[in-house]
Structure formats: structure tokens, C-alpha cells
Amino acid sequence: MNDTSSSNETPFWRFSLNLYRQPGVSDACIALQDGCGVDVNLLLFLFWLASDDRQLAAADVKLLDDNVRDWRNLTIIPIRNARRKLKDAATLVEPARQEAFRTKVKVIELEAERLQQEALYEFSRSGPLGTAAPAAAAARANIAAYQGVLGTSFPNQATGTLLGAFDAVTPRAA
């Protein structure tokens, strides 16, 4: 996830960029995505909600996942797979031109992710999601709820990295 700032950024997008650029976060997100089937945008959304002191139950996370699934499966996953397959693939196309094309695909992938995040942000504006809880507790509960929805346990190292970064970027209530 790279910074593609624009005037129509949502607070969620800005939060995601800030969290994602923290040390170890991108690697943790990719490990969860590839190893556990995590939708990184949904995971970041759960952290963003936690930063606003919102804790979700597994049913809430399932509803969110159900709502983004079609977009993820139609756009983000196929684009990501194409981008990854192009990396260092031996094809008829000259390597530098292939890499330039792969870079364009990466931009399209990022745009698809941003559109998903905008849709999640708009969904959040329809009313408060979840229940009130302190940010740190909400973050841990939201991760646990997502694990329940996916029926898996996330590696402790990845969740520890994410929770540490979340604590570092989330302002403390006075």
C-alpha cells in the first residue's frame, strides 16, 4: 500500500496509510493475507474502527466481509495475482517493459483497494458499528472476531506487530 494522496481521501484511508507504513506492518499484513486469507483492507478497517473506540462482534465482521467479498474476488485478488505472476516471469516481452507494465497493474490494484476502503468508510457512516470500548481492547477484540469469522488463528508474531503499531499510532484518551 503506497501513498497516493488526493483531496478526496477518507479518514480511514489516511489511517490505513499511517498504520501500514509502521515498521513490520506491511509484512504482517501480507503474511496474514497469504497465510490466513485475511482481507487486508477489512483488517485495517477493523483497526480504524478500534481507533474510534468501536468493538465489533463476529457477526458484525461477517457482515462486513460478506459485503466486500464480491468486490475483493472480482477485482483485488485477480489483479494482485496478475501483478505477482508478472514479477520476474520469463515471457516474450522484454523484461524492462514487462516490469513497467507490472508497475501499472500495481497502480490499478491500489486503486481497487482504495475504492473498497471508500465503500467501507461510506458503510460506516450509516450509523455506529459495534459497541463502545477502549481502543486497545477494541483492536484485540476485533482481531479475535475476524479470526472467528475466518475459522483460523492468526500467527502471534503478525498480530503482535499489528497491535504494537496500532498502539503507536492511536492517540491516548486524556
Give per-residue pLDDT as tens, 38-80.
999 999 999 999 999 999 999 999 999 999 999 999 999 999 9
For every residue of 45-108, DSSP letters joined together read HHHHHHHTTEE--HHHHHHHHHHHHHHIIIIIHHHHHHHHHHTT---SS-HHHHHHHHHHHHHH
Q: What are phi and psi of 131, to 5 degrees?
A: -125, 160
Q: Global pTM? A: 0.91
**CB distance 54 to 132 below 8 Å:** yes
Q: What is the pLDDT of residue 107?
A: 97
Q: What is the pLDDT of residue 69?
A: 96
Q: Which residues of the chain have pLDDT under 70?
A: 1-8, 172-174
Q: How far apart are CA 47 and CA 53, in angstroms?
A: 10
